[in-house]
Amino acid sequence: MSVPLELHGAKTGNCIRVAIALEETSVPYDVHPVDLATGGQRSPRHLTLNPLGKVPTLVDRSVPNQTLVLSQSNAILLYLAERSPGRLLPSGVDGTRELALERFFYFVVDVIAPSHAAFFLRQSGSEDCHVALSQQVLERLGVAETFLTQMPFMAGAEFSLADIAALTITVSLQDKLDWDSYPRLRRWFEAVTDRPSVRRGFRAFGV
Ligand SMILES: N[C@@H](CCC(=O)N[C@@H](CS)C(=O)NCC(=O)O)C(=O)O
pLDDT (average), residues 181-206:
98
From the list 79, 24, 31, 76, the residue with the least C-alpha distance to 192 is: 24
Nearest atom (ligand 1) to Cα of 39: 17
Question: Residue 1: its pLDDT value, please?
Answer: 63
Give per-residue pLDDT as tens, 1-29: 678 999 999 999 999 999 999 999 999 99
Question: Residue 207: its pLDDT value, please?
Answer: 81
Mode of pairing for the β-strands spanning 57-60 and 68-70: antiparallel
Residue 32 in contact with residue 45, Cβ under 8 Å? no
Residue 69 in contact with residue 49, Cβ under 8 Å? yes
Q: Whose CA is nearest to atom 5 of ligand 1?
A: 54
Task: Find the 159 Cα to ligand 1 centroid distance in Å.
Answer: 25
pLDDT (average), residues 170-190:
98
Q: Please work out whether the CB of residue 168 comes within 6 Å of at least one atom of ligand 1.
A: no
pLDDT (average), residues 101-120:
98
In this predicted structure, the answer to whether residue 35 has a pLDDT above a threshold of 70 is yes
pLDDT (average), residues 160-177:
98
